[in-house]
Amino acid sequence: MSENTLMFPPIEPYRQGTLEVDATHTLYWEECGNPAGQPVLFLHGGPGGGTSPMHRRFFDPSHYRIVLFDQRGAGKSTPLGEYRHNTTALLIEDIEKIRVMLGIQEWLVFGGSWGSTLALAYGEEFPERCLGFVLRGIFLCTRAEVDWFVNGMNHFYPEVHQRFSDAIPHSERGNLLQAYVKRLFCDEPEIYKEAARNWSRYEGSCLFLEPQAQAIEDFESDEVSLGIGRLEAHYMLNGAFMDEDQLIKNIHKIRHLPAVIVQGRYDVICPPLSAYRLHQAWPGAILHMVGDAGHAAMEPGIAKELVRATEQFKLHRKFL
């Protein structure tokens, strides 16, 4: 890796495929890097965000056996945007099916935003399968965090929230989440696709400390917005199918494992309080609060800390 770059060079998978996990869902998966290397699992955000070639670049490909997959309803997994038969428990089962299929005993677990939620939930269910965690933009899917996402971001992005709200008739704006759910889960493509674009644009407009036009455009595309819009609303409506604050209450199950938490100080989508609460419950974890960053993994300061974390897990045996 060059000193002038934040991440490792682009790489291509050495193996990829699909895995049918039930009668509805088929997952896309891939492996990159060193086939004999230290296994690491990448968990994407959203829910519904999917993986991208950029996600391979947080890891030294000479050292890591990098496993990525698109969760149910996301990315190249089919059907895109399918929220039925889609719960946190089923996603955890999917992770285990992939691990067993690939013959992996233990792996480092890397996840950002919703990926941090799923990483914690998976680790608390299968701590014996985890070497440690690299977590970014912490989201615990509590009621307060969901309310913040749907309503609270108005305090920082009032014009963006106004556009999000204006897509809903005035009579339904008292409960924007329910109003969007009504449209996102209907059977009319014209209605649910428009609702998904509005939802996804709302998030994409708030990702970076300085909004990025390309990110907003990407989030507005049908390929991205359908997964993000439908699945984020689905999981938020149902509290990620967990008890309130379950991830903090069960942190004792993984507290003995090493972890690095990377959080943007000005993350409006997943404010720093959640990362701080997680660190308080898990004092052995290392918390990096990046002072000049928002939510996105590709914020320079965040990308730098994420790569530094994967290098620490590679180089220092105390992390393993």
pLDDT tens by residue, 20-30: 999 999 999 99
Q: Which of 70, 165, 267, 274 is catalytic?
A: 267
Tens of pLDDT, residue by residue over 51-98, are 999 999 999 999 999 999 999 999 999 999 999 999 999 999 999 999
pLDDT at 315: 76
pLDDT at 3: 40
Q: Which of 113, 116, 205, 274 is catalytic?
A: 113
Residue 162 neighbours by CB distance under 10 Å? 10
**Total-model pTM:** 0.96
267 catalytic? Reply is yes
> How far is the C-alpha of 71 from the C-alpha of 127, rounded, in Å?
20
Q: Residue 53, preceding bond cis, omega within 30 degrees?
A: no
60 catalytic? Reply is no
| Chain mean pLDDT for the chain | 96
pLDDT at 180: 98
295 catalytic? Reply is yes
Q: Which of 55, 234, 288, 295 is catalytic?
A: 295
Tens of pLDDT, residue by residue over 103-140, are 999 999 999 999 999 999 999 999 999 999 999 999 99
Which structural domains are found in the chain, ordered by start? 15-142+241-319 (3.40.50.1820), 144-240 (no CATH)
pLDDT at 320: 47
Confidence of residue 211 (pLDDT cuts 50, 70, 90): confident
**Is residue 2 over pLDDT 50?**
no
> How far is the C-alpha of 306 from the C-alpha of 295, rounded, in Å?
13
